[in-house]
Structure 1
Amino acid sequence: MVKLAIFVVLIVALGYGFSWVADRPGDISLVWEGQLYQTDLIVAASALVAIIAAVMIAWWLVRTLWTSPHSVRRYFRARTRDRGYQAISTGLIAAGAGNAAMARKMSARARGLIRADQEPLILVLEAQAAVIEGKHDEARRLFQQMSEDPETRELGLRGLYVEANRLGAHEAARQYAEDAAEKAPYLPWAAKAALEYRCQSGQWDEAIRLLDQQRIAHVLSRQEADRLKAVLLTAKAGEQLEGDPAVARDNALHALKLAKDLVPAAVIAGKALLREDNLRKAGSVLEQAWKLTPHPDIARTYLRARSGDSAVDRLKRAERLESLKPNNVESLLIVAEAALDAKEFTKARAKAEAAARSESRERVFLLLADIEDAETGDQGRIRYWMAQALRAPRDPAWVADGQVSEKWLPISPVSGRLDAFEWKMPYGQLAGPVEDGVIVSGAGAISAQPPLAPAETRSEPKAEQKPVEVPAKPEVEQAVPATAEIEAEPADRNAGAGPVPEPFFGRPPDDPGVRDPNRQADEKTRLRLF
């Protein structure tokens, strides 16, 4: 577009010049070797322009003829290079599709058209073809050759890293990743692999330094880098908690500033502050974390802050947590457990049932069974709550790559991935076994619980249970036939045995000492018929 504009400007200027000369007529005289040459001004100007144009055309023709051999060679060279690049392109597409034969064919064609030292893509194509064909020794040789070339060093290290992981040579893979991360920290795969290897070996300071380099190189976003650094600081604080609580406290508090919802950092910070007898600061840290993410680990650390507290004191602290996060399942459960320890069964039952109505899970029903055992000792209701716990969804746990851990870990033991553990329901345990007619919802389970058995048939609660002496059975002097015993048995045999327990689930409890009167009468009638 610029050239066209310049051309138009030149034409306009030339036309304007000719018109200006034509408007001002005159003669030009030239004496050369005694001869007088005279002509009009417009003719002289036109002749001058024609001579300049002829010289330019003549120069172009001479230059074209002079450079024609080089132009021809360059044309054919470009054509050959284009065919070679076309072969490389076709070969790479074939390698990506898994067509090793076509990739090899295109590689050989490209080598015949382009020199391998001039185009490193030929080595890439040959390495991919070797990987597809299973010739891993040849592929490693080609990747090693590429790693020695500054232009293809990163690609060669990547290929060597993948091959080392395939063979299980984790130490070699770590060295390749470290080399790539040091020379090119902007490579995401190298930075991630080097970071994970340093975390696996517990080199937390080196991992934090590498993470800072990745942040400067813009490999990670600011939010992601802050989260990973908080995880590294938490892991470092966890190792320092026993030996140096002050340093562990500083690292954990720094981690909380970067990720306020990181539960392990809050727990470690609270424990470190408690070891320094700073109860007020520890309580403040744990309360702030509880407001953001109610977690059982935070509650246990908060309730056990002072070793000399009684069960009533722990109940008050649990109620303090509930006031910070009301209408929450974890708040209700922690208050119910503390009330059970303090033997305030009414409050414990009310909070546990409220938690069951909010979210039915295994821990809720087990807590109801413990409350029933401690308060009433009714075995029927205890078994009912235990059955509901077996069928209810499992409780959340620390899960990473399908593996469940009892405690939080900074890296996954399966894949080595950093910050892999999440507090959630384990895979494959979303619910218990499914049976017909089973009530697993909290509200339904509470409304369908069996009635309280009479006091005569209930066992004493665990807190007041005493050993019972069982009298020895008298020796039987004479055997009595079974048929005769059944016929002679009076109908009111159980008249003095006390009231029959009220049945649940449509039948009496599975207690061998309790018999069903209707079933007993049917057995008598059947035996008399025979």
Structure 2
Amino acid sequence: MIRILVFALFVLALAAGFAWLADRPGELSIIWQGQRADMSLMVAATLIVSLIAAVMLSWWLVRVIWTSPHSIQRYFRARKRDRGYQALSTGLIAAGAGDAAGARKMLGRTRGLLSADQEPLIHLLEAQAAMIEGRYDDARKKFELMADDPETRELGLRGLYLEARRLGANEAARQYAERAAEKAPQLPWATEAALEYRSQAGDWDEALKLLGDGRTGSPEEKKAYARRKAVLLTARAGAKLDADPKGAREDAHQALKLDETFVPAGLIEAKAYLREDNLRKAASILEKLWKSTAHGDVARLYVRARSGDSATDRLKRAEKLEALRPNNAEALFAVAEAALEARDFPLARGKAEAAARLSPRESAFLLLADIEDAETGDQGRIRHWMNQALKAPRDPAWTADGITATEWHAVSPASGRLDAFEWKTPVSELQGPVEEGSTDAVDEAIRTLPPLAIETRPAAKTDPIVKVERVDAEKPVVVTKVAEPVAVKEAVVEKAKLEPAGAQDDRQERPFYGLPDDPGVKEGAAAKRDGTSGFRLF
């Protein structure tokens, strides 16, 4: 574009010059060796311009003829290089597609057209072809040669790293990754691998140094950096919690600044405050975390924050959590557990059933079995809830790569991946996914509860036989006496809290509580005679 503009300006200038001479006519006389030549000024200017053009054309012809051998040689060299690059590109595509024969063929053609010193990608093609053919030793040698060349160092180190990982040589892979991260910290794979290896070794200080400051990058990269730094700070806080509670608290606090909903960081900071006997600070952190996440571990630590509390005190703390997050399965479950310890069975049963309706899971039904065992000891009902627990989804747990743990860890024990643990329901082999909050199964379990327990005791020969009849499981038990005693060895007697004969009209079936938002049946409320419960729905 610039050359065209310069040429146009030159032509315009030349035309302007000739126009200027045409407007100013004149005569020009030249005397040379006794000869005189007269001509007009325009003719003289035309002759001068023509002479200059002829000289330039002659010089161009001489230069073309002089440089023609070099130009011809350069043309054929460029054509050969283009053919070599075409073969190299085809060979790399064949290697990526797994075509060993095609990659080997293109490698031979590329070597005949290009020099390996001029094009390092030939080494890569040769290494890829060797790997496809199963010659891993040859491929590793090529990667080592590439790692020694400054131009292909990063490519060679990555190849050696992948080969070490394939062979299970974790120590060698760690060395290659750290070497690549040291030479080229901008490589994501090198930084990621070195970070994971240092995290597996528990070297949290070096891992944080390797992570950098994260000031540059896109918003997504900055968010990922903040999450990773929070994980490393939390892991370091957990490592120093016993020896240095103050340092652990500071690290966990920094992690919470990066991610306010990161439950492990909040738990460690609260534990550090509890070790310093600062219950108020610990409770404040847990309450703030509970409002945003309603995590089961937060509820357990909050309820049992002070070891000297009585069961009633723990129940009050659990009810405070429920007030912060009403109609929450974890809150209802925490209240039910605390109420069971406080021997408040009606409250425990109501909250446990509500929690089971909101989130049907194994622990909710096991808690109902415990409540039944502590209150009535009815083995039939206990077995019923145990059976429901076997069929229910498992409780949420810290899960990573198919492995569950009771506590959060920064690194997966299976793959060594950083920040692999997630709080979720583990995969069950016996039952598919169940929609959380479904109440059909829980309601059916409550409706199909077995009758009250039947106990046996020896019957004296002089005792009257007690005949027990239960026509309908939803109606009260009918008890009649035989007029004359009959001698028997044993009689089956129902003992399920039968009232005196005069108070049989006041007998009632055990009521069950309503939907999860139902606070339950008040104490002393009587069921209807037809067997239906007397609760009120909101």
Secondary structure of 1:499's aligned partner: strand
Distance 1:210 1:55, change over 3 A: same
Letter in 2 for 1:22: A
Which residue of the partner structure matches residue 361 of structure 1? 361
Residue equivalent to 1:121:
121
Deviation of the 1:151 alpha carbon? 0.6
Tell me the secondary structure at the aligned position of residue 363 of structure 1: helix
- Pairing of 1:207-286 with structure 2 (within 5 A): 207-212=207-212, 215=214, 218=217, 221-286=221-286
Q: Write the deviation string for residues 389-437 of structure 1: whole angstroms up to 9, x where unpaired.
A: 1111111111111111222111111111000000001123583799xxx
Measured after TM superposition, the shift of residue 27 of structure 1 is 1.5
**Cα 1:504/1:422, change in 2 over 3 Å:** farther
Q: Do the aligned partners of residues 81 and 217 (structure 1) sit closer, same or farther apart at CA in structure 2, a change above 3 Å counting?
A: farther
Counterparts of 2:385 and 2:33 in 1: how far apart (Å)?
132
| Aligned-partner residue type, residue 401 of structure 2 | D
Q: Does structure 1 retain, via aligned residues, the 8 Å contact 2:27–2:41?
A: yes
State whether structure 2 residue 468 is matched by structure 1 residue 496: no
* 1:217 Cα deviation from its structure 2 partner: 6.9
d(CA) in 2 for partners of 1:216, 1:500: 79
1:25 corresponds to: 25
- Residue of structure 1 in register with 2:68 after alignment: 68
User: Aligned with 1:243: secondary structure?
Assistant: coil
TM-score by length of 2: 0.82
Within a 5 Å distance, the mapping from 1:498-517 to structure 2 comes to 498-500=467-469
Give the Cα–Cα distance (whole angstroms) in 1 for the partners of residues 313 and 418 of structure 2: 39
| Equivalent runs, 1:49-128 vs 2, <5 Å | 49-128=49-128
Asked whether the equivalents of residues 380 and 450 of structure 2 are also in contact (C-alpha less than 8 Å), the reply is: no
| Cα distance in 1, alignment partners of residues 432 and 139 from structure 2 | 50
SS at match of 1:28: strand
* 1:338 alignment partner AA: A
- Partner residue, 1:408: 408
Once residues 350 and 26 of structure 1 are traced to their aligned partners in structure 2, the CA distance between those partners, rounded to angstroms, is 123
SS of 2:407's partner is: coil
Letter in 2 for 1:227: R
Between the aligned partners of 2:217 and 2:62, the Cα distance in structure 1 is: 56
Higher helix share: 1
- Change in Cα spacing, 1:513 to 1:291, as seen in structure 2 (3 Å) is farther
**Could you say if the C-alpha distance between residues 379 and 495 of structure 1 is closer, same or farther in structure 2, counting changes exceeding 3 Å?**
farther
Letter of the 1:204 counterpart: W
- Which residue pairs with 1:450 in the alignment? 449
Aligned to 1:397: 397
Distance 1:290 1:148 in 2: 55
Please report the RMSD computed on the Cα atoms of aligned residues, expressed in angstroms: 2.8
SS of 2:416's equivalent in the other structure is coil
Q: How many residues align?
A: 473
Closer/same/farther in 2, CA of residues 20 and 432 from structure 1, 3 Å limit: closer
Instruction: Please give the alpha-carbon distance, in whole angstroms, between the structure 1 residues aligned to 2:304 and 2:329.
Output: 20
Q: Distance in 2 between matches of 1:425 and 1:109?
A: 56
**Residues 27, 39 of structure 2: 8 Å contact kept:** yes
Q: Secondary structure at the match of 2:468?
A: coil
Q: Does the 8 Å contact 1:394/1:431 carry over to 2?
A: no
Aligned partners of 1:74, 1:499: CA distance in 2, in Å? 113
> Helix, strand or coil for the counterpart of 1:30?
strand
Q: Trace 1:198-209 onto structure 2 (pairs within 5 A).
A: 198-209=198-209
- The structural deviation recorded for 1:503 is 6.9
Are the aligned partners of 1:363 and 1:389 in contact in 2 as well (CA < 8 Å)?
yes
Aligned to 2:426: 426
Does the CA-based 8 Å contact 1:394-1:430 persist in structure 2?
A: no
The 5 Å alignment of 1:262-411 reads 262-411=262-411
**TM-fit CA distance, 1:347:** 1.7
Contact 1:376 1:458 in 2 (8 A): no
Paired letter, 2:150: P
Q: Matches of 1:323 and 1:472 in 2, distance apart?
A: 53
Mapped to 1, the partners of 2:101 and 2:82 lie a distance apart of 22
Supply the distance in 2 between the matched residues of 1:299 and 1:429 (Cα, whole angstroms): 29
Preserved CA contact (<8 Å) 1:318 1:335: yes
Distance 2:470 2:151 in 1: 87
Opposite residue 496 of structure 1, the aligned amino acid is I
Note the alpha carbon deviations across 1:149-194, whole angstroms, 9 max, x for none.
1110000000111111111111111100010011111111111110
| Aligned mates of 1:159, 1:198 — CA distance in 2 | 21
Q: Structure 1 residues 72, 504: closer, same or farther in 2, change over 3 A? A: farther
Match for residue 182 of structure 1? 182
Q: Percent identity?
A: 61
Relative distance call for 1:514 and 1:422 in structure 2 (3 A) is: farther
State the alpha-carbon separation in 1 of the partners of residues 50 and 118 from structure 2.
Answer: 48
8 Å CA contact 2:384, 2:450 repeated in 1: no
1:322/1:81 CA distance change after superposition, 3 Å? same
Higher mean C-alpha deviation, range 123-132 or range 82-91: 82-91
Going from structure 1 to structure 2, the CA distance change for 1:513 and 1:61 (only over 3 Å counts) comes to: farther
SS, match of residue 399 in structure 1: strand
CA distance in 1, matches of 2:445, 2:359: 12
2:418 match: secondary structure = coil
CA contact (8 A) 2:393 2:428 kept: no
- 2:332 touches 2:352 (CA, 8 Å); kept in 1? yes
| Cα gap change, 1:285 to 1:433, in 2 (>3 Å) | closer
Cα separation, 1, equivalents of 2:356 and 2:52: 101
**In the alignment, residue 343 of structure 2 is paired with which amino acid?**
K
| Deviation readout 1:47-90 (Å, 9 max, x if unpaired) | 12111111111111111111111111111111111111111111
CA 1:409 to 1:472, structure 2 compared with 1: closer, same or farther past 3 Å? farther
Pair 1:259–1:389, CA change in 2 (3 A) = same
Q: Which amino acid aligns with 1:373?
A: D
Question: How many Å separate the matches in 2 of 1:304 and 1:297?
Answer: 11
Q: Within 2, Cα distance between the matches of 1:513 and 1:308?
A: 49
Distance 1:39 1:390, change over 3 A: same
